[in-house]
Amino acid sequence: MRQPERTDQPAPVQGPPAPAAPRTPSAKQQLRELDRRLSVLESLAVGSGHKRGVMERGLGWSPEINERGFSLYSTDGNNRLHLNGGIQADYHGYPDGQTGHAPGAEPDGFVLRRLRPILDFRIANYFRGQIMPDLAPRRRSELFNAFIDWDYYDWARVRIGQYKPVLNVENQQGEFDLVFAERSLVQNFALRRDFGATVTGRIIDRHVRYDLGVFNSGNGAIGPASVPEPSVDNNKLGMARVMVTPFLLKGPEAFRKLDIGVGVLYGNCTNSPCQQPMMSMGQDRTIFQYQPTVVGNGFSTRVLPQMTWFWRRLGVMSAFVHTWEPKIDKSMGKAALLQNEAWMAQAEVSLTDDEPAFNRVTPRRPFDLAKKGHWGAWTVAARYSEQRIDPQAFGLNFADATQYVQTTKGTSFAVNWYASREFRYQWIWEHSEFQGANQTYAAPRTSDMLIFRFTLIY
Amino acid sequence: MNWAQPAWAVEPYFGYYDEVPPIDETELNAARERLQEARARLPHIGGATEPGVSAQPEPLPPPIVDERDGAPAIDFQEVDELRKTFQSLQAQRLRESAASQAQPTPAPKESLSPELEQQVQKLSQRVGDLERVLVGTEEHQGLAGMIGGYTRHNGFFLMSGDGDFFLRLPVLLQTDLRTFPGGQNGTNPGVMPSTFILQRVRPMLHFRLWRYFRGYMTPDFGNGFSNNPNVQGRVQVPDAFGEWDYFSLFRIRMGKFKSPIGLEMLQAPQNFSFMERSLARNLLPNRDLGAMVWGIYERGLFEYQLGVFNGVPNANFYEESAATGSAKTLEARVFSRPFVASTTSMFRGLGYGIGMSVGSVKQGTSGQDPMQTETFSYTFFQYNSNVTGDGQRIRISPQVAWYVGRLGLLGQYVRSTQQLRLVTGGQSVRTTHESWSAQASWFLTDDTATFGHVQPRYPVEPSKGHWGAWEIAARYAQLNIDPETFAYNLADPGINALRAKSSTVGLNWYLNTNVRLTTNFVHTDFTGATRAYHAASHEDGLMFRMQLTF
């Protein structure tokens, strides 16, 4: 079959056919007819009476930050359904290969890191919810987010379900908005994703944000991976965080976007260590793991001071965590109060006339070869992070000193190209140095990893 | 009897329910009428030629078909055509707007000059093009024929202008806190610890193609509180079926869907007066793979279902539903609302009926999954692993419901008879288990009880003093195991109960049609068959739920 000719020229509009009758309507008649037809079109476009017109159509695409993606909505805006999604496809390379001084933990290869269809909805104006599975991990789908919000009052929003508690500012940032490929070593000691309930609010002219929450103390509650599980016992974890934006409305212009605060996690773990295996910053290597016989031995506390600061072309983020964790080896009966800590600091600088952001960077000039100077936004970023495990953990054989690391130092560099709000390419280098607790340590002492990442999010 | 009455014109009441309320045809019809009205007012769009009007638009080129992905392709050529026409209109408008600013049009006179006549012609063309974009033709609908958005009854949807093609995107999200005041030890065990859980997380797809072919499918990402290791933490597909519903009295459905026996089973989980179904669910099938014909006569005066299924075990959770043997199970149900036509009778909301199944269970399955309490936390009965089906299984379930004003009543009885034997041989035993439940609900506020979706008269709006709808509910249920089960050593009398009695009280707060908070307290007593029984004597569950659905 012949394919129809494709052209950028508009399709020619057929002219009026010859009138069947000899009588030609006068110009006045034609004008009246045109007026009538225009009225019909107006009612179609704008609507009339209780009938909605094309202009009130509740579907389409909106690029605005809170209305992003494809959406369906009621014309009063009280009910909205956003059909969003995100893909992160990586290439992971290990320059030293799989052997030698700094062996790669895995072979070089392409990795589908995240594949998330996202249903975001608002019902009756004040009720919001989200369902977000991830189809990428372990070749099976897992539910990551499913929660309901009641946000009638700005000073007390309620959230119930499964989601990311905002104990750590890094965790608060979306996976598709990270400056680097993965979060820092601090994440090894923070709540990742869990079932629970939270009250959040902004008070004192929005200068202060608070979060109060209670969560299951599942086996994998704390650590770098999203593995929410039901409680293994009746214990729960309590979380509180306060973040202050002191110069939000007044004060030095440069510090308007300075947030500073502290998060605290307090809870009991008895039937599990409440700790996932800890990972290096590239999440390619397990750097610390308790023996299977080690569990919690009472109430533990974690304190996380944290800050973010965004000013013109600069974005800075930092967090610190110190933990007090009573642990016991059930088989040996040995107990100790372990004190672990970690910290991170990162900075991102824009090379183009753009501003780094906690959420998604919106390039001033999205990539478009047809327009001069439209090269998207380019940024460079660097991060340093360190974690120290309590030496008692190895002294009491709570962890295998031959395999696992006492001190980890990680450095990251990234070049980010934000082609548009939705498309982004990253070139990231992760370097880690590992130090064992004693001379029996036999695992790698350094690790290098190159990550090329493509992100599509809408 | 109007056999040809189309299914979409019939409103099911408490008949055969899907997880979502039916599509509101009134809204679809209104949209369709709007388009027809516009077309009627524009006869030339349909092909009639009028002077000065662009006639039938050029036929669009055939769509480029790309079926590589196995999915219907989007007709980008048609989209491109609309886009180009639209751009042409915009460009033309801009040009003429600039020209009119430079040269003001003279005021019209009684006799028009040739130039003005020419302008009228051009204007006619522009109006014609606009009509083509907005209204389209019978073959190619314009923008006004592409409808989507949100309405109160249909939720979020996309549809063609004539309503023949329709896609609806419902969601059910239930997040629970389940606690067991008796703890995990002693004679009152909560087998699961107190925990937050996602019980149902269902993004659904409900669609209709060519008006009479309907499909429905949903994954469930929840399944949090199930003791079944095959279900917990895994994505399941409770429902996936296609249906031809040209005739309201003869609809044909195939796929995986609810078995049509129990009344409580057919109620959508977002509409329960309680958080979960009663003990009686343990003796009924949940979802099954099969084919069914069913129909509704006169808005529910009479309805029936008749289907053949793989024959899943009696289960309180949906399973894979793959056949374990060649034998199939025949299931049937009839239900009537004799006073449905009366607008004044207090019995208008009364319905009663009976469901039953006949089939055969053999080849390594007992046909009965472990029986659990209403909280899903404790298994009070299961056959020994060496028990297998050995012949006929019959289930029968009379049922009744009555909704009048603020009051809702629902009761059902289930009797399941099954031929069993030990895999090692021995005598074939016929066991008969039975269960019944009775429940009542009462709205404290001025709202109407229903088997379907509750619509609060005053949705929550604190600034207006509106606080939604409040309902209290109570239920009693009992399940009796056949004593022969223990006499023939088909189950361990030490850990399996002979009888379970469960009392549930609940408080429901419907904030609006979409959001609901529920609290249930469930107390269940267990009685053993002999003195050897040493498992739990009772279980207490205190559960809280926040539910969002649309």
pLDDT digits (tens, 9 = 90+) for A187-242: 999 998 888 999 998 898 889 999 999 998 877 789 888 777 777 777 889 999 99
Q: How far apart are CA B246 and CA B5, in angstroms?
A: 8
Q: How far apart are CA B297 and CA B302, in angstroms?
A: 5
The predicted-structure confidence for B485-533, as pLDDT tens digits, reads as follows 999 989 999 999 999 999 999 999 999 989 999 999 999 999 998 888 8
The domain total for chain A is 1
Q: How far apart are CA B157 and CA B148, in angstroms?
A: 5
Residue A255 pLDDT greater than 60, yes or no: yes
B459 interaction partners in chain A (CB closer than 8 Å): 124
The predicted-structure confidence for A397-431, as pLDDT tens digits, reads as follows 999 999 999 999 999 999 999 999 889 999 999 99
The verdict on B130 touching A (C-beta cutoff 8 Å) is yes
Average pLDDT, chain B: 79
B157/A81 Cβ within 8 A: no
- Which has the higher per-residue pLDDT, B227 or A360? A360
Residue A59 pLDDT greater than 50, yes or no: yes
In chain A, the N- to C-terminal Cα span, in Å, equals: 38
The verdict on A70 touching B (C-beta cutoff 8 Å) is no
Query: What is the band of B229 on the pLDDT scale with cuts at 50, 70, 90?
Result: low
Residues A93-118 have a mean pLDDT of: 79
Helix (H, G, I), strand (E, B) or coil at A155: coil
Whether A123 contacts A79, CB under 8 Å: yes
B131 interaction partners in chain A (CB closer than 8 Å): 37, 40-41
Q: Within 13 A of B58's CA, how many CA atoms are on the CB side?
A: 14
Distance from CA of A143 to the nearest CA of B (A): 6
- Nearest CB to B127 within list A34, A150, A229: A34
Residue A156: domain span: 55-457
The predicted-structure confidence for B130-176, as pLDDT tens digits, reads as follows 777 777 766 666 777 667 777 777 788 887 766 678 888 889 999 99
pLDDT of res. A2:
36
A121 interaction partners in chain B (CB closer than 8 Å): 156, 171, 550
Residues A432-440 have a mean pLDDT of: 92
Query: What is the band of B4 on the pLDDT scale with cuts at 50, 70, 90?
Result: very low
A129/B171 Cβ within 8 A: yes
The verdict on B319 touching A (C-beta cutoff 8 Å) is no
In a domain, A307, yes or no: yes
A143/B198 Cβ within 8 A: yes
Percent of the residues in chain A that have a pLDDT greater than 70, as a whole number = 85
Residues B411-433 have a mean pLDDT of: 91
Residue B213 pLDDT greater than 70, yes or no: yes
Write phi, then psi, for B220 (nearest 5 degrees).
-125, 115
Residue B291 pLDDT greater than 80, yes or no: yes
In a domain, A18, yes or no: no
A16/B52 Cβ within 8 A: yes
Whether A298 contacts A320, CB under 8 Å: no
In a domain, A182, yes or no: yes
Task: Calculate ∠ Cα B282-B264-B261, nearest 5°.
Answer: 75
pLDDT of res. B246:
83
B184 interaction partners in chain A (CB closer than 8 Å): 234
Residues B527-548 have a mean pLDDT of: 90
The predicted-structure confidence for A135-157, as pLDDT tens digits, reads as follows 886 556 688 889 998 888 888 88
- Which has the higher per-residue pLDDT, B372 or A384? A384
Residue B96: CB atoms within 10 A of its CB come to 14
In a domain, A49, yes or no: no
Interface of B with A in 58-117 (CB under 8 A): 58, 61-62, 64, 77, 80-81, 84-85, 87-88, 91, 108, 110, 112, 116-117
Residues B247-251 have a mean pLDDT of: 86
Percent of the residues in chain B that have a pLDDT greater than 90, as a whole number = 33
Residues B300-304 have a mean pLDDT of: 88
Percent of the residues in chain A that have a pLDDT greater than 90, as a whole number = 47
* ipTM > 0.85 for the complex: no
- Which has the higher per-residue pLDDT, A270 or A21? A270
Query: What is the band of B62 on the pLDDT scale with cuts at 50, 70, 90?
Result: very low
pLDDT of res. A30:
77
Average pLDDT, chain A: 85
- Which has the higher per-residue pLDDT, B30 or A385? A385
Residue B15 pLDDT greater than 60, yes or no: no
pLDDT of res. B135:
74
pLDDT of res. A198:
94
In a domain, A451, yes or no: yes
Q: How far apart are CA B21 and CA B270, in angstroms?
A: 10
Q: Who contacts A22 (Cβ-Cβ below 8 Å, separation ≥6)?
A: none
The predicted-structure confidence for A195-204, as pLDDT tens digits, reads as follows 899 999 889 8
pLDDT of res. B123:
83
pLDDT of res. B238:
85
Residues B73-96 have a mean pLDDT of: 55
The verdict on A40 touching B (C-beta cutoff 8 Å) is yes
In a domain, A282, yes or no: yes
Residues B426-438 have a mean pLDDT of: 93
In a domain, A248, yes or no: yes
- Which has the higher per-residue pLDDT, B451 or A349? A349
Residues B100-115 have a mean pLDDT of: 58
Q: Which of A80-84, A172-176, A252-256 has the lowest mean pLDDT?
A: A80-84
pLDDT of res. A281:
92
Q: How far apart are CA A162 and CA A296, in angstroms?
A: 23
- CATH code where residue A428 lies: 2.40.160.10
pLDDT of res. A28:
75
The predicted-structure confidence for B336-364, as pLDDT tens digits, reads as follows 989 988 878 889 889 999 999 999 887 77
B157 interaction partners in chain A (CB closer than 8 Å): 72
Distance from CA of A199 to the nearest CA of B (A): 15
pLDDT of res. B10:
38
Residue A12 pLDDT greater than 70, yes or no: no
Beta bridge partners of A340: A323
B126 CA to centre of own chain: 47
Q: How far apart are CA B529 and CA B483, in angstroms?
A: 7
- Which has the higher per-residue pLDDT, A321 or B82? A321
pLDDT of res. A9:
38
Closest CA to A149 of A166, A128, A118, A164: A128
Write phi, then psi, for B311 (nearest 5 degrees).
90, 65
A73/B150 Cβ within 8 A: yes
Residues B447-474 have a mean pLDDT of: 91
Query: What is the band of B463 on the pLDDT scale with cuts at 50, 70, 90?
Result: confident
B173/A161 Cβ within 8 A: yes
Residue A322 pLDDT greater than 70, yes or no: yes
Residue B80 pLDDT greater than 60, yes or no: no
Q: How far apart are CA B458 and CA B461, in angstroms?
A: 8
Q: How far apart are CA A305 and CA A260, in angstroms?
A: 8
A31/B175 Cβ within 8 A: no
Distance from CA of B266 to the nearest CA of A (A): 25
In a domain, A355, yes or no: yes
Distance from CA of A25 to the nearest CA of B (A): 7
For the B7-20+170-549 domain, the top CATH level (class) is mainly beta
